[in-house]
Amino acid sequence: MSVVQQVVVLGSTGSIGVSTLDVIARHSDRFSAWALAANRSVTALAAQCRALRPRYAVMMDPDCAETLRTELSGDCDTEVLAGADGLNYVATHAEVDAVMAAIVGSAGLPSTLAAVQAGKRVLLANKESLVMAGHLLMSAARASGAVILPIDSEHNAIFQCLPQGDLAQPRLDGVSKILLTASGGPFRTWSASAIAAATPAQACAHPNWSMGRKISVDSATLMNKGLELIEACWLFDVAPARVDIVVHPESIVHSLVQYVDGSVLAQLGNPDMRTPIAYGLGWPQRIDAGVAALDLVALSKLHFEAPDEVRFPCLRIAREAAATGGTAMAVCNAANEVAVEAFLAERIAFSDIPHVITAALEAVAIVEPTSLDVVETADRDARAIAVEQVVRRRVAGGEK
């Protein structure tokens, strides 16, 4: 009889977390949700706790944690923890086998790093952790023996197309280039003037994927692809020049690897995050994800085109940050988070986002990310500059 693996889901109420719990429920003989964590979504986390009965539930917001305790009292014996200490406790606990790192943004870095340092199998859906502190995470994995399995559909596809060494470490034997596919987002065919006037609702209306608002805006600006380029450099130990972006509007080919003999290997599938999640949970075996098989005949045609970095400058900005190295990537990520939040709150225009990021990159000193403190300092400095830029560019009555 196989041992049930104990899984921690950080960000359980988000889209990745919900999909992870769906896959776990399909394989209750193999996986159990040992702990769940969310930021402020008390009602959603309470429902998950009643359904799955995890040992622990963590809420980042202490007030929300107290509300959750009251909600669960009497009908659910899940213990409620709060804050960063709670996240780190469940992410590093000796009974835990795997950690789904799906907290959005820089908030997910400390707990992800803690899980890696503890030698866990880390299903990495929080790309910002690698963008901000890739050197720290990869060094910690080598020291602890942690297995990092990429869950972003693009990096999961690349992982599947590469030969693998010990501890799931991908090898670059015969690889000439990595090709990351991008859907192009909702504004792929829009003019520059139309993109500049885009609303939050339009930016969040992704044509293929069901995602949270922040990542949806990143897809619309193509910053998401820039962050994924940086993530690929760390995961697969390649220079930015060896990673190309290819726009593929159908989102069926999730990414490709080009080899020196002219071969190109690709991973295809319907756009459903349960596929890479199931791959990460089951690795090195494959398990049912609940996703329909791809019908190539019905699909008929696939299209590919080059990205337009004039209409979508965030991709260029991220690539340049990757080439600069050091804390430039953390600065880029932090400023982007501030700018996207401001755009979603309708305080700046869509076209202001790259300007806010560029201003932060120009103002914040770039240093080597030798520790988490150094990375977090760069993050704070970048946010301060970005907030100043948002105030300057605030949209009021259609005027800046």
Mean pLDDT of the chain: 92
Strand 56-59, strand 79-82: pairing: parallel
Q: For residue 59, is pLDDT > 50?
A: yes
CB–CB of 291/275 below 8 Å?
Answer: yes
In the chain, the DSSP E strands lie at 5-10, 31-38, 56-59, 79-82, 98-101, 121-124, 147-150, 175-182, 243-247, 253-259, 264-268
Query: What is the tens place of the pLDDT at every residue in 75-122?
Result: 899 999 999 999 999 999 999 999 999 998 888 899 999 999 999 999
Which of 3.40.50.720, 3.20.20.110, 3.30.1330.30, 3.40.50.800 is the CATH number of 5-150? 3.40.50.720
The pLDDT confidence band at residue 146, using thresholds 50, 70 and 90, is very high
When pLDDT is cut at 50, 70 and 90, the band that residue 394 belongs to is confident
What number is the average pLDDT over the span 206-233? 87
Residues in the chain: 400
Tell me how far apart the alpha carbons of residues 243 and 232 are, in angstroms, rounded to a whole number.
8
Is the Cβ–Cβ distance between 366 and 339 less than 8 Å?
no
Range with lowest mean pLDDT among 29-33, 48-52, 171-175? 171-175
325-400 maps to CATH 3.20.20.370: no
Give pLDDT, residue 67.
Answer: 95
Amino acid at residue number 328: A
User: Does 395 score more than 60 pLDDT?
Assistant: no
Which of 61-70, 209-218, 276-285 shows the lowest mean pLDDT across its residues? 209-218
Out of 186-190, 292-296, 390-394, least confident range: 390-394
Q: What pLDDT is stored for residue 300 in this prediction?
A: 84
Alpha helices by DSSP H, listed for 53-108, are 62-72, 83-92
DSSP codes of every residue in 1-56: -PPPEEEEEETTTSHHHHHHHHHHHHTTTTEEEEEEEESS-HHHHHHHHHHH--SE
Token pair of 72 as six digits: 């669960």
Contact 271, 252 (CB under 8 A): yes
pLDDT band at 290 (very low <50, low <70, confident <90, very high): very high
396 has pLDDT over 90: no
CA 177, distance to chain mean position in Å, is 22
Q: Is the pLDDT of residue 400 over 60?
A: no
Task: List the single range of 1-5, 258-262, 291-295 with lowest mean pLDDT.
Answer: 1-5
Q: Where are the domain boundaries for CATH 3.40.50.720 in the chain?
A: 5-150
* CATH 1.10.1740.10 segments of the chain: 325-400
Element (H, E) at 132: helix 127-144
Peptide bond into 284 cis (omega under 30): yes
In this predicted model, what pLDDT tens digit does every residue of 310-330 receive, in sequence order? 999 999 999 999 999 999 999
Q: Identify the pLDDT of residue 234.
A: 93
Q: Region 346-357: what's the mean pLDDT?
A: 95
How do 175-182 and 253-259 pair as beta strands?
Answer: antiparallel
| 243-247 sheet: strands from edge to edge | 243-247, 175-182, 253-259, 264-268
> Helix, strand, coil shares of the chain as percentages rounded to 5?
50, 15, 35
| Mean local confidence (pLDDT), 32-54 | 95
Of the candidates 96, 99, 13, 22, which has an alpha carbon nearest to the alpha carbon of residue 61?
A: 13
Using the predicted structure, report yes or no on whether residue 1 has a pLDDT greater than 50. no
Predicted pLDDT at 210: 65
Mean pLDDT of 245-267: 96
Q: What was the pLDDT predicted at 94? A: 97
